[in-house]
Every structure is written in C-alpha cells, then in structure tokens.
Amino acid sequence: MMPQGQTARPAAPALSIRGLTVDLPRGMERRHAVENITFDLLDGQILCIVGESGSGKSVTANTIMGLLPRAILVSAGAIQLGGPDGTAMIGASPATLRSVRGRVVSMIFQDPLSALNPLMRVGEQITEVLTAHDVGTKDWQRQRVIELLTEVNLPNPQLMYDQYPFRLSGGQRQRVMIAMALALEPKVLIADEPTTALDVTTQAQILHLIRDILRRKGMSVMFITHDFGVVAEIADSVIVMEKGRIVEQGIAAEVLKSPSHPYTRRLIAAVPNLTGQDRAAAATVPEDAILKVEGLSKTYRSGSALLGSQRVVPAVQDVWFDIGASRTLGIVGESGSGKSSLGRLLVKLQDCDGGRILFEGRDIAALSDSEFRPLRPKIQMIFQDPFASLNPRSTIGQILTVGPVAHGMPRAQARIEAKELLARVGLDAGAFDRYPHEFSGGQRQRIGIARALMFKPRLLVADEAVSALDVSIQAQILQLLDQIQRETGVSMIFITHDLRVASQICDQIAVMHKGRIVEQGPPSQIFLNPQSSYTRELVAAIPGETLV
C-alpha cells in the first residue's frame, strides 16, 4: 500500500522504509516488534503513526535512529534517509549513524524531563549538539542557541540559556528539546509522543509550534501518538499500527472520515469527544448533598522557616462544592492546579489546613485518623497508576479481601463477594488467585475499581483513573464506571486533566486553576458557554474538535 498523497504532490520521500521487520527477544508475547512495514515520509509533510501501547510505533522510531536496545535486532528491510542518494540506516557504521543523527534526522521524546540532563544548563545542552558535529565557533554557537531558543518561543532567551531544566515547566522543557532537535536544521524530525505528558493547553501550543517550524524550514515530521485527536489536529497522512503491523495508511482527512479497517474505526470511536450535552440523571433522587466541602484549603511547606528558605505552595485554596447522591462531579485542571491534592484531602490521605468536609452531615476534616477509620469504607478511591496501586506481592484475592476482612467481614464471605465483583468489573473468577503482573493496564484498573467497590462505598474518588490507559481501554473503563454508578447509586468525584473525558461522565464539572475553583457548572455551560477566561482557554485547546 502506498500513501495516496504521492500522486497529489510529486515530492521525493525524505524517509523511506521498505519491508522492515524487527525481532523481539525470545519469550516475549510475539515474535516481531514490527513486521514487514513499508511507508514513505514525504518532504514537508507530517506523518502520524497511531497505535496503542505495544503496537510497535516507538520501536519503528528507534530503529530509524539506530537506537534500538541490543537485545532487539532488525531481521529484514531497509531504511533510506534523504532520498535515493541519502544514507541507508540499516547496517550503517556507528560513525555514520552518529554523523546522521542530529544533522539529518533528530528526535524528540515523550518525557522532556528525563531526556534533559538535570545538571547541565539549557544553553550548554543545545551547544553540545553543535560541538558534537563540529559546527561553528564558540561565539557563533552561542548566538545560534539563542536564535533557536527564540525560534521555539521561549520567553527571554538570553536568560533561558543559563537555566537548569528543573526550573522550567513541562512545556518549556519540551520547547528546549525541540530547539535541540532543530539545532542543525535536520530534514526529518521524529517526535515520539511529544505532547502526551503535557497539559492540553501546552499540548496545543507545542503542536502549533511544530507545525509552524515545519512550514518555515520545509522539514518532514514523523509524529507518533496514540491520540486521534492529535492526528486530526496536525497530520497530513496517517499510518495505523496494530501489534507490529500496518493495518491502514492514507491521507489523514480520508482516514479520519472513512476509516476502512475495523481497528482504526475502533480507535477513532474511542476518542472521547466533547459532548456539550448534560448527562441524563440516573434517577430522580432528592437533591440531598452527600458531600459538602466548605472553604477547604491546604498549603504545602517545605524547607526551613528558620533559615528563611521556606517554600510555601498553596495547593488548595478556599474550595467550595457539594455533590448529591449518585451524581458525578468532575474536577478538571492542569497539572499543578491542586486537583490531586484535593482528592487526597477528601479521602483523608492528607490532612487539610482549614475548612470543612461534611460527609453525610458529619465534618470528617476534624476527625483523627482512628476516628475516621470506621468511615473509610464509605469513601473509597481509585488510583491513577494501575501498575503502582496494586501490591505486586499480593494475589488479586488478597488485594480485594484484605480491606473488608480488616473491618470485620468473615473471610469466606469476603471471598464470595470478591468473586462476584470480579465478574461485575468484567474479569473472570480465575483472576482471584493471580498476581497483578499477570494483567494488562486496563485489567489492573478494573481490579482497582473492584477493590474500591468491595465496601459498597457511598462516594468514589477517582484520581486520573483512566489517564494512564490507551484510548480504547479508556472508553471501556468509563463505561464500566458509568454502569456501576447506575447500578449502585454511588456518587463519584472524577479528577482528570482531560476535558473530553470529563464531558463524557460528569453531571457537574468544576474547573480548577492554581488551587481555586474558577468555574463550576454542568458540561453544557462549561463547554458551550464558559464563563471564566481560563475555562475558555482550556476548551479551545482540546485537540481534534473537528473529530465529532
């Protein structure tokens, strides 16, 4: 299959891959990381490679850069960089690869913090690229780096030159990475999920920046993502990968409009789209608030007050809201907005500094740990990271029953209830005696949900419960939560950075910014008629609005 875009524009491919097969070490779940893939990246285009985790998209990128781990070998195929008289990357000597990397092709990574050296100033790190390729004199290099920092729209480039990475925000770090990748004006830029770790507003800016630079420099970009929203935003053409194979490729607009492969259709359908509609209430219950939060605040202090080096971070400031029985309140905000701190305050994993949390009329903020213990079963939490939140040394059965047993439920009854719950969250009873590492991320999140439901809680706090999952799994988990709420009448506080997800599941949404709730209302108000300027900014930044 050749991309159909080729006929429209007779451009030469900047990067061409033919029949590439990369083997996985023995004993992995499949034999090939990628199998017989063929595609071209045309000059001046953005090609998106889309797929779920484990589909082989990052392996493809690393193969092109010659950055594969030693245990993974290329067994067949060819990679040609820069047209017919460019470089063949497979089998090239380490010296050739080094000279090509950064100069002809460069890469930006998902996590800009771990990709930057924490002990080196930003300017020095970019200069390093120039020095490694012996370009320019010292003065010229410095000038060039400042030019680059200006180019990626970093504020005050002169000052930025001397900053350490930890002083920068996530978006700024990613801009530095981009500046570094652009230092030698490569023909091809490979971007491996560069915006996945970023907030929506920052993501929108970075996507805009990449697009912009591509236009100015005439580069080609290979953009790896799992999010079809991003594809809709920037791609010229698109390749869909599943389990190491290309299942569909073509012009972005066409693939998005009429996907031919069922896997593509499923991925596109799974993208949570913004519904400006309010959710139909599960039942007409009397609007009696189960939880009332009044003037809640929490301030983190670190360092020493005596030495005057104290850092004071007001994480949650004067927050008010209430939530009725079997309703869902979404708390939306960017990272650092205090939404996770708020969640931890509600389940009392942390103590607040001020305000009241009225749960069924009783102020739980004032209770001590031991006074609150009998109430814990009523307020449960679903955690963000399905890998870290289950004890790796406990079986699923132990994980589910340990809480109820500690609160006095007979062991036999707990086992029976746990097995029933496993069926309810869509796992078979055989899971009971297995260990967490035997399950996929989505399955583990189901186990986490089952654990929270063991107590038949009145209130569930879900802290970014679907953020670590692939979009298709995300949709399943959201559906499960919705179904559970309809069956059990539990109230939910759904904390997320993703407005699209919030719009799917929430009755009410509270937007948090810098520790305060700046706007509160039903989804229809938040998305169609936002009152605060910050909400407006957030809504505008959502990728793939065209994708409805």
Partner 1 sequence: MTSAAAPHPARERWWRGRTMRRFLANRLALFGAAAIVLLVLACVIGPGLLPYTSLSIDLRARFAPPFTGSHYLGTDPLGRDVAARLFMAGRISLAVGFAAMLLSTIIGTLIGVIAGYRGGWIGAVLMRMVDGFLSFPSIFLVLALAAALKPSAMMITVVIAATSWMEVARIVETEVRSLREREFVQAGRMLGLSGTHIMFREILPNAIGPIIVAATLTVARAILMEAYISFLGYGIQPPLPSWGNMLDGAQRYLGSAPWLAIIPGAAITIAVASFNFIGDGLRDAFDVRGDHK
Question: Looking at beta carbons only, is 312 or 388 nearer to partner 1?
Answer: 388
Nearest distance, CB of residue 333 and partner 1, angstroms: 20
Nearest distance, CB of residue 452 and partner 1, angstroms: 8
Binding site for partner 1 (CB under 8 A): 29, 69, 266, 347, 349, 373-374, 376-377, 380-381, 383-385, 388-394, 402-403, 406-407, 425-428, 430-431, 434, 438-440, 442-443, 446, 448, 451, 455, 472-473, 476
Asked whether the beta carbons of 227 and 52 are under 8 A apart, the reply is no
Question: Looking at beta carbons only, is 386 or 515 nearer to partner 1?
Answer: 386
For residue 100, the SS3 value is: helix
For residue 312, the SS3 value is: strand
- E strand or H helix at 216: helix 200-217
For residue 237, the SS3 value is: strand
For residue 220 the two structure tokens come to 């080609």
> In whole angstroms, what is the distance from residue 32 CA to residue 30 CA?
6
Nearest distance, CB of residue 411 and partner 1, angstroms: 14
Would you give the end-to-end CA distance of the chain in angstroms? 28
Nearest distance, CB of residue 68 and partner 1, angstroms: 13
For residue 321 the two structure tokens come to 């809201």
Task: Give pairs for 86-94: CB < 8 Å, separation 24+.
Answer: 89/63, 89/64, 92/66
Asked whether the beta carbons of 231 and 252 are under 8 A apart, the reply is yes
Asked whether the beta carbons of 403 and 455 are under 8 A apart, the reply is yes
Tokens 């078979």, located at residue: 428
> In whole angstroms, what is the distance from residue 531 CA to residue 527 CA?
10
Nearest distance, CB of residue 303 and partner 1, angstroms: 18
Question: Looking at beta carbons only, is 154 or 365 nearer to partner 1?
Answer: 365
- E strand or H helix at 127: helix 122-132
Question: Looking at beta carbons only, is 403 or 521 nearer to partner 1?
Answer: 403
The single-letter code of the amino acid at 183 is A
Question: Looking at beta carbons only, is 339 or 446 nearer to partner 1?
Answer: 446
Nearest distance, CB of residue 124 and partner 1, angstroms: 28
Nearest distance, CB of residue 480 and partner 1, angstroms: 9
> In whole angstroms, what is the distance from residue 426 CA to residue 354 CA?
41
> In whole angstroms, what is the distance from residue 461 CA to residue 346 CA?
8
Nearest distance, CB of residue 152 and partner 1, angstroms: 33
Question: Looking at beta carbons only, is 80 or 384 nearer to partner 1?
Answer: 384
Nearest distance, CB of residue 181 and partner 1, angstroms: 26
Nearest distance, CB of residue 348 and partner 1, angstroms: 9
Asked whether the beta carbons of 382 and 396 are under 8 A apart, the reply is no
Outline where DSSP puts E strands in 97-244: 105-108, 188-192, 220-225, 237-242
Distances (CA, A) of 338 to 308, 333, 484: 25, 8, 27
Question: Looking at beta carbons only, is 236 or 470 nearer to partner 1?
Answer: 470
Question: Looking at beta carbons only, is 21 or 53 nearer to partner 1?
Answer: 53
Tokens 């189901």, located at residue: 446
Would the CA dihedral through 129, 132, 135, 137 be positive or negative? Answer: positive
Nearest distance, CB of residue 31 and partner 1, angstroms: 16
Nearest distance, CB of residue 240 and partner 1, angstroms: 14
> In whole angstroms, what is the distance from residue 493 CA to residue 323 CA?
8
Beta-carbon contacts of 38 under 8 Å, excluding residues fewer than 6 positions away, are 1, 17, 18, 19, 20, 246
For residue 143 the two structure tokens come to 């000038």
> In whole angstroms, what is the distance from residue 239 CA to residue 38 CA?
10
Distances (CA, A) of 268 to 231, 236, 348, 475: 10, 17, 38, 11
Question: Looking at beta carbons only, is 201 or 476 nearer to partner 1?
Answer: 476
Question: Looking at beta carbons only, is 333 or 442 nearer to partner 1?
Answer: 442
> In whole angstroms, what is the distance from residue 218 CA to residue 112 CA?
24
Nearest distance, CB of residue 306 and partner 1, angstroms: 18
Question: Looking at beta carbons only, is 216 or 437 nearer to partner 1?
Answer: 437
Question: Looking at beta carbons only, is 47 or 453 nearer to partner 1?
Answer: 453
Question: Looking at beta carbons only, is 61 or 465 nearer to partner 1?
Answer: 465
> In whole angstroms, what is the distance from residue 442 CA to residue 425 CA?
11
